[in-house]
Amino acid sequence: MNLFQYTNSNKRYYTLDYFYRKLFGSKVFKVSLNAGFTCPNIDGTVGTGGCIYCSSLGSGDFGGNVEEDLKTQFETIKNMMSQKWPDSKYIGYFQAHTNTYAPLSILKEKYESILTLPNVVGLSIATRPDAITDECMNYLEELSKRTYLTIELGLQTIHEKTVQFINRCHTLECFETCVQKLRERNINVVVHIINGLPYETKEMMLETTDYLNQLDIQGIKIHMLHILKHTKLGIYYQAKPFHVLTKEEYVDIVCDQLERLRPDLVIHRITGDPDPNELIEPKWLCKKFCVLNEIDKELAKRDTYQGIYYQKKD
């Protein structure tokens, strides 16, 4: 018997695999794609240079090859996955850069090309809260009635001082408005946050997840900060080193966050996958499954689980 109700693997948090299996009745993979988009924080619309931690691939380091068309990218990755799970279904994951930042005609062409492929049951679209026009919102609403659609919004932190430091270039109010507009259209929302951002304390990271508890969102991705070569953050860190969370500190913070998060929030990610050839710190991130195991062990040691300390605010 599972300790926590939203898992099929004795995890103590609401796993994405459990969620997908319940929804679709089979294993489901997200296939990461690079559609060749840019970002309003790069081209000067809201800022330049992008977020200081972003690689040149715009968080799409493990996505498809941008030199290939989307169908070729999809088939390449799908074929690797299907060798282990031949009866899987797939969700096209538009991951690199800002994937609603283009004319609607281009967005439609790219999204619809993936939906025509066999065994594709949905789309997951990563974007910024300041990069979805009302015209795009209306199309996404229509799209969500035809397929399983998730919009993944980058928030990273609620703390304004950090937001300015990392050159995020959008406000918390903008984020809240975007979530509201998406949910008014019954579109699923998953929010990305980053633990270990420069000069943030543990309490600040917990405040970010506590804030998300109060919003109508369906899932969360928890990342550990990657300090990568050839990024503004990498250059800054090498000139002015700041404290980088140890594995033990990260595990402790994530477990505290899970204990305080709503039990109905699907945990899409609780660690990251940095390119080891580009990673400056933390080196321990390269052992992803070790991190996941340590989180499991710590929750078991505490004898706690997601939501055990969740307190709904009036």
Per residue in 244-293, pLDDT (tens digit) is 999 999 999 999 999 999 999 999 999 988 889 999 999 999 999 999 99
Q: What is the pLDDT of residue 147?
A: 98
pLDDT of amino acid 57: 63
Strands lying side by side in the sheet with 28-33: 28-33, 89-94, 120-127, 148-156, 188-195, 219-224, 266-269
Pick the CATH number of 16-302 from 3.40.50.1820, 1.10.10.10, 3.40.50.10330, 3.20.20.70: 3.20.20.70
pLDDT of residue 62: 59
pLDDT digits (tens, 9 = 90+) for 213-226: 999 999 999 999 99
Predicted confidence at residue 80, as pLDDT, reads: 86
Q: Which residues of the chain have pLDDT under 50?
A: 1, 58, 60
Q: Check: pTM over 0.75? Answer yes or no.
A: yes
pLDDT of residue 66: 80
Please report the pLDDT score of residue 81 as a whole number: 82
Ranges of each domain in the chain: 16-302
Q: What is the predicted pLDDT for the residue at 63?
A: 62
pLDDT at site 60: 47
| pLDDT given at position 6 | 78
pLDDT number for residue 65: 79
